Each structure stands twice: as C-alpha cells, then as structure tokens.
Structure 1
Amino acid sequence: MAEQLLDRLPDELLRATIGLLGASGSDIAAVACVSRRLSGLVEDRLWGALVVARLPRLAGLLDASTTAPDWWAARSWRERLAGLVSGLPFQAQVYNRELENEQEDFLLSSYDATCSLAPASARALLSGDATQPMRFTARFLCMGQMQAVVESEVPQERLRLAPLGSNPFGVFGGGITSSAGLCVGEEVEVQWKGRRAHPFGWWFGTVQRARGNRITLVFRQYPSSSVWHRVKAPIKPGKEAVVNGDCSFGYVGGLRRLTAAEREEWRRHGAPHPPAPEQLQALEAAEDEWSDDEELDLDAEMAAEMEDEMDELADMHAAGAADMQAAGAEEDALPAPGAPPAQPIALQLGQADESAVMLAGGGGGPEAALPAAEPPQ
C-alpha cells in the first residue's frame, strides 16, 4: 500500500524528500530497495556522501591518483560504491608493512600492494553500521621466491599513493639523486630492497652525511646497537647499488626529499621527532668517513665482484624460467646480517575523524540497487 502511494507522487517531490536523508547509509539503502523507480531517484551525491563519510582518506587518494582503476575513474559515486563493496582492487602503498606481525622489521616503511575493501567493512558500509571500522585487505608483491604476504585489517590511515614516478622494480628518478642541498639531520625517503629479485620499498631515514652520491643514512627507528641503524647508501645513476658494500645488506635505489606534509605523515605512523641540536651534533660526531680515495660507490670493486659472481650463477641456470628462479633462490640463501633486537611495534595510529558524518545503524544494504561490478582480475 505504501509503495503504491509513493508511486502516485511526482518525481520532483520524491527527489526532494530523498534529499533530506543526508549521508545515512541505512536510510538510503532502504529507499533504494523499495522499488526501481525510487532507486533511480536517489541522487548520485547521496551515494557520494555515503562513501566520503566513511572512507574520506581513500576517496581523496583515488581522486588524486593518476592511475586510479577503471571502476573508479570517471564513474558515478553509485558505480564506485558498487566496486568497493564488490571487492574490486586498487593499487596503493601501505605504511609499516605487516604491522600485525611484530616479528617483521618493516617499521617506518611503505610498500606497494593490491588493496580491496574487507568484506566485513563492505557489509557495514551498506548497512550503515557506524560501529564497524573501515578496514582493507592488502596483498603485497612477492619477495623473490617467498609466497606473497596478505595482510588483513589494514585501516585506511595506513594507505598512501606511491610517490609520483615511483616503481617497485625500478630505480626512482633514474638514480640521479644529487646531494646538493641535503644537510645533516634532513629526513628523506630512500628505496631499499633485501635481494635483487625483491621489489623496492620506501624507508624513512635521516641524512648523516652527503657528499656527491655517497650518502650515509641513520634509521633512528632502530636502536644504535642495530646493524640497520646506520648504513652507507651510494646512489648510482640509473641502477641500484650495494648497501655498505655488502650484498647481504641489500640494495639501494633512489632517494627523495620530503615536503613538510610528508614528514608529518610519517610522524603519524611513528617516526621520531626531528633531531634536536644536540642530536645533530651527535650525528656529526659519529660520522664514519668515506675516504677521498674511494670511488663514488662504496667498496665498488668488491660489490662488483659479488654481483659478477651472482650473474655467473644465474647464467649457469639460464636454460629456462625455472632455472632462473633457482638462481634467485641461491641469492635468497645468502646470509643476512643479524636482525635488530626484537622490539614490539606499538604505534599510535591516527583514528578516523569522529566528526565525520556517521552512518546510522539499521536495515539491509542496497545491493539490489547498485550496478553489478566486475570481479577482480
């Protein structure tokens, strides 16, 4: 009876009434599920208000991305919501990879991942359950021969866009990173990977010394007793370089300077405060000089010899793709330096803005009213 009465009302009156619902997910869902006519009268801005109220950071990131997925770019908010709740993927970087695993040493890093809205969050988004936090599932790129890691329960505050021009399998900026203007105590991001077959991640570090392409970095997130606390990272134009002249320490790619906003974003994810004057003096005093007789690359000859040995090993197994994988496994078997002392990773991550419009709890979701989204590839 109620539906029949509603059908007698003109479209203009129904649109005006529906427009009073604001960003209440359950109310919008209830209206959209009454009939196809009412579903078609729900203005797209209401679907947009629903998404932005619960996923403000994600919406901002995808709108700003030059490589946003097809299901988001130039689509209506209704189609975008359908893609999100269907679990369609998008590319992003995740701060502090594998935060839920305290045994991993990815503190103050950012790694590329394929992300999608977690099923429980999708149901809460549709039903208007404001008590359910929005979480994502992140599938990271494979580390050589190791199985890909999938991390669940990633809050949207840990997502960011990859730096413009960044490639997990390429040296940032062609490796042309000048130390001109870099000063002791400046905070930067540097590409680093553990093995040649691994993808690069971005790491937050502090400049201790910069001369030509010879840069010493201090990672203050690790204690001074850690082998990772201070490293020598030569920047080689166009290609990766060996850290500390020892392949077991991994490889460095490019280096990028940070804006004030980027530095503050790292702070929100646990980065230490900028070095105080006395800390800067300590950095300079602890400086490990690079001899003027050295080449621009630290221990370049030794590093080149080690790389040649690895290349020869790879050539021995170059008969096919499977043999190349075996060569990668040989490299992964190289001994790595001792890990830093075990430390619980306890970061106070920023919570979602509670002042955002929260969705009221209530009825079922608008699955029937949303267009069908294509499944992930």
Structure 2
Amino acid sequence: MLLYFLITCFPFIFFLKSLALKPLPPWATEMRLLSPWFWKDVSFFPSFSLIKNILCLGLGIGFFTTIPSKMSLKKMSFTSKVDNFEEVEESAMSILDLPDLVLECILERLPPAALCSMAGVCSSLRSRCISDHFWEKHMKNKWGRIIGPAAYREWQWHIALKTRKDSSHSKHGKSKGLMRILSIVKPSWWIQSKVDGSSNQCSLPDDSVMAWFLALETGRFWFPAQVYNRENGHVGFMLSCYDAELSYDPRTDTFHARYPPHGRRAMAKENNVPWERLRVPPFDTSPHDLHISDCLNELHPGDNIEIQWRRNKEFPYGWWYGVVGHLESCDGNENYCRCHNSDTVVLEFNHYTPGSRWRRTTVHRKEHQEEGNEADGFYGGIRKLCNEEEISTWKHLWPSEILE
C-alpha cells in the first residue's frame, strides 16, 4: 500500500519541483501576485484543500482524480487569465490613443498644476496643454476679479520689451531662450520660473495665456489694480480705494503692494495684502484724470456712491465711499422729500463723527467739476453704486470705531 502511494505521488512531487525551479514570468515579478482579485480567487481554490488531503492523509489516486468539475472550470479560467496577461499588457491603451474630444475633456478638468505637469510628459501633450483654450478658463477663475484692461495692457508692454531685448541679444550673439517653466518645487509653490538652459524645460511662447498665468502665479509680473484701505488700514485712508502695483506671493497667497509717490511723499509699500482688499479699477483711466460724472441727475438720498478725492493737485485720485444725504431744509420724510429735485447734492461720509469737516460735503448737480481747496482737498467725479457686491464690500470694510 505504501509502495502504491509513493508511485502515485512521484509524478505530483516532480510537478511541484518543476514549478519551483521554473522562473516567474515578467508580469509576475511586477505584480508580485498582490492584487486583490488574485488572492480572492486563490484563497477559494479547492486544490488547496485537495493537496493538503493528499500529503497529510495519504489518499490514493482515486481521490486525486475526483476533482470537481466546478474547480476545473475555475482553474481553467484563472489559468487563461494569467496566460493572457502579457497580451493585455502589451495592448494597453495610451492616453494619446483616446479620441481628441475625450482627451480634451480630461485636460479641461485638470487644475493648473496638473495641466502644467501634463505638459512636461511629451511634445504631443505639451502642444495641447499650453493651448490658450485651457488657460483662459484658469485665468478667469483665479485672476479675473482683479485683472483688468490696464493689467492686460501692461502685460503687452512687458512682452514687447522682452521681445525687443531678446532680438537685441540675438544680434550680438547672445541669444536667450524663451521662458523656461514647468518645474514643480513644492506643493505651496508649485511653479518656479527658470532662466537656465536645462534640457528638461520646455519653451513657452511669451504671448500665450499660460505664460501670463505663470508670470502672475510666480509673482514675477507686477500689475496695476486698486487696494481698499491702503497701508494696512491707515486711519487716513479708511473706506478709500487707491491705485497700486501688485505682485502675488504664492507662499502666503497674498500680495505685495507698491503705491506711487505723492508729491514729496516717497513710494509706500505694503505686504500681505489679502485678495478681498483688491479690485479692478472701475474705469480704464489714469488716477490723475477727473472722472466725468454721468449719474448726478439720478442721485437720490440713500444712494451709495464713490467719489474721487485727492489731497492736492499733485496727488492722484482715490475713490472714497459715501451715501447721498438730505438737504438741511429737508426733515428726511420720504413723502415730502424733494432733495432729488435740487441742484445741490449732499454727500455724507458717516464713518466720521458728526461735526467733523470730513462728514459732509455738497456738489453741484449740473455743473460739477473738481471742487475743493488746499485745506480740505479736492472732490472729483462721482459714480453711483448699483452692484450689491460692491456695496457689501464697502460695508465689510467699515471701521470698528467712528473716525474723528
């Protein structure tokens, strides 16, 4: 009986030995047989209990050959899956094999950092990822609220100046490459400009939207915008909005601000300016130009307004928040108020104490130009606020204490 058992087991022992000596295929080395579907299938193989019974209980060939048909089918299925794995791997689909519409939908959903990384994969993806079509959306989403016509014009001048310098250097044999980008240095500062000739970088057209986005994102480009309550809420600038040059700081997600010199006053600087204190200038004009008011005939008591004001003729205008008030002869009763018919418009700045010389002023409705003097400053153009978001921003910036 023992001899019969050994004779029947020898083929099986040699079979196991041949499996141990046979090198694993490449896919097995890579996968290491750790995928969940592998262990799920193997753990339920009846052959495990079958081998245990043969080796431990010494059963004869009769039991070995009585493998259930269900197990055979499952084993055949698994074997077929393993044998065909290499073929599936070789025929794996590349992202470039996707239809153009599908690939475009994927790229449209990538955030700027991921789109920038994707552009560094290969030349084919780079040509797609630097397309203005994708970056215009990112530009609008992140920078649209504070980038206006003046900032765009400044960027065009920047490109023209850089192109002229590059052309001049090329004539002298000192060619400089275009901006080198797409290097990710840390999560909080995911793009850093490069000016070396590293082969790992790729050239980017200076006039592309992506180049502009990255110039803003890295803080290399200073652009014009307006800042509420300038100089960290200096008491002399409460509820005002002044022009400045801004540069983004990606480490703190805030801005550096440079205010132009006023008269004898040197340039003022401010750091850590948050997003909520910035806005696009309401008009694409110089801060030294008087705004021509076109809303004076529409003003009624209670309307929210902004008015230009400057200390003297050398200073640029800033925009100051106020409301339209009632004439002294009016008791404020809505049923009898006729202030809107008067040629005089009362403007109130209620963040100043009653009796303060800054609390009230009047302007002429029909002949208003710049009004004022060297002592109280000069009042310029007026704009009526109809946007609730603008009004809410001013009220959010209201000082905690009434000013003298």
The two structures have a TM-score, normalised by structure 1, of 0.54
Deviation at residue 182 of structure 1 after TM alignment: 2.4
Pick one of 231, 248, 256 that aligns with 2:361: 231
Paired residue secondary structure (1:27): helix
User: Matched residues in 1 for 2:323 and 2:209: separation?
Assistant: 41
> For residues 165-198 of structure 1, what are the alpha-carbon distances to aligned partners after superposition, in whole Å with 9 as ceiling and x for unaligned?
654212211xx66743422222211111112211
Paired residue secondary structure (1:80): helix
User: Matched residues in 1 for 2:347 and 2:95: separation?
Assistant: 68
Query: Does residue 71 of structure 1 match 2:204?
Result: no
User: Matched residues in 2 for 1:212 and 1:240: separation?
Assistant: 19
User: Matched residues in 2 for 1:212 and 1:178: separation?
Assistant: 14
Equivalent positions of 1:75-90 (< 5 A) are 76-84=208-216, 85=218, 87-90=220-223
1:20 corresponds to? 106
User: Matched residues in 2 for 1:139 and 1:82: separation?
Assistant: 21
Change (3 A) 1:70 1:186: closer
Query: Does residue 116 of structure 1 match 2:247?
Result: yes
- Whichever residue aligns with residue 59 of structure 1, its letter is G
1:189 corresponds to? 306
- Whichever residue aligns with residue 211 of structure 2, its letter is E
- Whichever residue aligns with residue 20 of structure 1, its letter is I
Q: What number of residue pairs does the alignment pair up?
A: 246
User: Matched residues in 2 for 1:263 and 1:116: separation?
Assistant: 23
Equivalent positions of 1:288-307 (< 5 A) are none
> For residues 227-254 of structure 1, what are the alpha-carbon distances to aligned partners after superposition, in whole Å with 9 as ceiling and x for unaligned?
3222345579585221xxx521111112
Contact 1:207 1:216 in 2 (8 A): yes
> For residues 141-183 of structure 1, what are the alpha-carbon distances to aligned partners after superposition, in whole Å with 9 as ceiling and x for unaligned?
322110112222223332222223654212211xx66743422
> For residues 11-52 of structure 1, what are the alpha-carbon distances to aligned partners after superposition, in whole Å with 9 as ceiling and x for unaligned?
454975685362334433333334444433325344445445
Contact 2:151 2:225 in 1 (8 A): no
Pick one of 86, 104, 107 that aligns with 2:238: 107
> For residues 96-126 of structure 1, what are the alpha-carbon distances to aligned partners after superposition, in whole Å with 9 as ceiling and x for unaligned?
222x2x44321221111222322xx1xx6xx
Paired residue secondary structure (1:111): strand
Change (3 A) 1:138 1:216: same
Question: Aligned-pair RMSD on alpha carbons?
Answer: 3.8
1:318 corresponds to? none
- Whichever residue aligns with residue 226 of structure 2, its letter is Q
Contact 1:206 1:219 in 2 (8 A): yes
* Unaligned runs of at least 5 residues, structure 2: 1-89, 158-205, 328-338
1:94 corresponds to? 227
Pick one of 297, 321, 335 that aligns with 1:180: 297
* Unaligned runs of at least 5 residues, structure 1: 125-131, 273-338, 342-377
- Which has the higher relative contact order, 1 or 2, with Cα contacts under 8 A spaced 6 or more apart? 1
User: Matched residues in 1 for 2:150 and 2:324: separation?
Assistant: 31
Query: Does residue 254 of structure 1 match 2:381?
Result: yes
User: Matched residues in 1 for 2:371 and 2:307: separation?
Assistant: 12
Paired residue secondary structure (1:82): helix
User: Matched residues in 2 for 1:182 and 1:86: separation?
Assistant: 41
- Whichever residue aligns with residue 189 of structure 1, its letter is E
Deviation at residue 68 of structure 1 after TM alignment: 2.5
Contact 1:92 1:113 in 2 (8 A): yes
- Whichever residue aligns with residue 383 of structure 2, its letter is R
Change (3 A) 1:52 1:172: closer
Query: Does residue 200 of structure 1 match 2:317?
Result: yes
User: Matched residues in 2 for 1:86 and 1:270: separation?
Assistant: 26
Deviation at residue 138 of structure 1 after TM alignment: 2.3
User: Matched residues in 2 for 1:49 and 1:163: separation?
Assistant: 22
Deviation at residue 219 of structure 1 after TM alignment: 0.6
User: Matched residues in 2 for 1:35 and 1:234: separation?
Assistant: 66
- Whichever residue aligns with residue 161 of structure 1, its letter is V
2:118 corresponds to? 31
Pick one of 127, 141, 148 that aligns with 2:267: 148
Pick one of 236, 257, 261 that aligns with 1:138: 257
Paired residue secondary structure (2:383): strand
User: Matched residues in 2 for 1:205 and 1:79: separation?
Assistant: 40
Paired residue secondary structure (1:115): strand
Change (3 A) 1:31 1:67: closer
The two structures have a TM-score, normalised by structure 2, of 0.50
1:286 corresponds to? none
Contact 1:179 1:213 in 2 (8 A): no
User: Matched residues in 1 for 2:352 and 2:146: separation?
Assistant: 30
The structure carrying a bigger helix percent of its residues is 2
Q: Once the two structures are aligned, what percentage of the paired residues are identical?
A: 26
Contact 1:235 1:253 in 2 (8 A): no
